[in-house]
């Protein structure tokens, strides 16, 4: 079964190393603030490290009372990180076996960085695949854009503070 995959991008006038260094450890509660029926992240529990090495895990707690378990599956300093989400406890559990997320950070000659975030829901069955495709291409894509814009605004503010300090 093919995953239901969505990708969003943004370009910022901040160098690649700084962008990576600010996005990877970002407080998820400040960017995953909920969107329509999609819940907000309210806390992270049982994180096994600084979120900077393959194999590290954490539990993401959501505003609807559900949780999911994340594990870093890839990490290339300043360029890329990826993760797998599983053990969903909310309603999405009936549709999704797991999900895979990945963030790429690409620099250009002008010192800008393009951020590309891809998220792929792995369906629980062939019957849930069409529902996941529709969800990922509509509501989830809008939520991803919302999250990415909040992350970009936060990193631009942090980068500006670093420059003026």
**Per-residue pLDDT band at 165 (split at 50, 70, 90):** low
pLDDT digits (tens, 9 = 90+) for 51-94: 999 999 999 999 999 999 999 999 999 999 999 999 999 889 99
Range 150-155 contact pairs with CB under 8 angstroms and sequence separation of 24 or more: 150/30, 150/31, 150/33, 151/23, 151/26, 151/31, 151/115, 152/10, 152/12, 152/115, 154/22, 154/26, 154/30, 154/31, 155/12, 155/14, 155/18, 155/19, 155/22, 155/23, 155/26
In the chain, the DSSP E strands lie at 4-12, 41-45, 57-62, 67-76, 80-86, 96-107, 113-123
Task: State the residue for tokens 């991008």.
Answer: 9
Return the percentage of the chain with pLDDT > 70, whole number: 96
**Per-residue pLDDT band at 161 (split at 50, 70, 90):** low
Quote the pLDDT of residue 109.
Answer: 85
Domains of the chain, start order: 4-164 (3.30.530.20)
**Per-residue pLDDT band at 130 (split at 50, 70, 90):** very high
Residue 115's nearest CA partner among 62, 84, 162, 156 is 156
Quote the pLDDT of residue 164.
Answer: 60
Task: State the residue for tokens 């069409």.
Answer: 130
Alpha-carbon span 116 to 114, nearest angstrom: 6
Quote the pLDDT of residue 163.
Answer: 58
Task: State the residue for tokens 């975030």.
Answer: 117
Computed over every residue of the chain, the mean pLDDT equals 93
């Amino acid at each position: 079964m093919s995953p239901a995959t969505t990708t969003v991008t943004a370009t910022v006038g901040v160098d690649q190393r700084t962008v990576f260094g600010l996005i990877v450890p970002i407080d998820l509660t400040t960017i995953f603030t909920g969107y329509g029926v999609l819940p907000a992240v309210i806390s992270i529990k049982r994180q096994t490290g600084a979120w900077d090495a393959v194999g590290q895990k954490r539990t993401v707690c959501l505003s609807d009372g559900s949780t999911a378990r994340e594990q870093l599956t890839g990490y290339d300093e300043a360029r890329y990180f990826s993760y797998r989400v599983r053990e969903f406890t909310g309603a999405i559990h009936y549709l999704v076996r797991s999900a895979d997320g990945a963030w790429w950070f690409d620099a250009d000659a002008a010192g800008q960085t393009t951020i590309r975030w891809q998220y792929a829901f792995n369906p629980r069955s062939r019957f849930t695949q069409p529902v996941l495709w529709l969800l990922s291409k509509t509501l989830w894509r809008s939520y991803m854009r919302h999250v990415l814009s909040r992350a970009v605004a936060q990193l631009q503010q942090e980068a500006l503070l670093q420059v003026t300090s």
